[in-house]
Structure 1
Amino acid sequence: MTAFETPATREYSVTWAIDGLGATSPEEAARLALSLISRTPGPDADTHVFTVHGDGETTQVDLDYQ
C-alpha cells in the first residue's frame, strides 16, 4: 500500500451494555445511559469498553488501554 492508498473499510457492529440500570421507563433508561457515556469516567468506570463484531470475530476493545 502506498502513502496515498487507504485501507479498505469493513462493516462492524458495536455494542455497549449497561447491566442493572434502574429506570422507570425505556426513555429514562436511554437518558441515564447517555449520561453515563457522556460523562468523564472515574477510575473504575467501564464506559470505554466495547464489544465489536465483524469479519466473523468478536473483539473486546478497551479504549483506555489503546
Structure 2
Amino acid sequence: MKTWSHPGGKLRELGADALTDAELLAILISTGVRGKPALAIAEEVLERFGPLTEMSNLPL
C-alpha cells in the first residue's frame, strides 16, 4: 500500500472519501509548528472536540 508524506497527495490520488477526519483537517491546517506536524495537531483537535460531523454543530 502506498504512503503519502502529506494527506494532500492522498486526496489528489484517491479523493476525499479515502481520507480520515484527521487527514482532512490536516489539509486545512496546512503546516504545523516546530516539532508538531499538521496531522498531529489535527488529531489533537479531533480528540478534544470530536469528529468533524459533530464539530460542525459546535458554537463559535
TM-score by length of 1: 0.30
Which is richer in strand? 1
- Structure with a larger share of its residues in helix: 2
Greater Rg, structure 1 or structure 2? 1
TM-score, structure 2 as length reference: 0.32
RCO greater where, 1 or 2, for CA within 8 Å and sep 6 or more?
Answer: 1
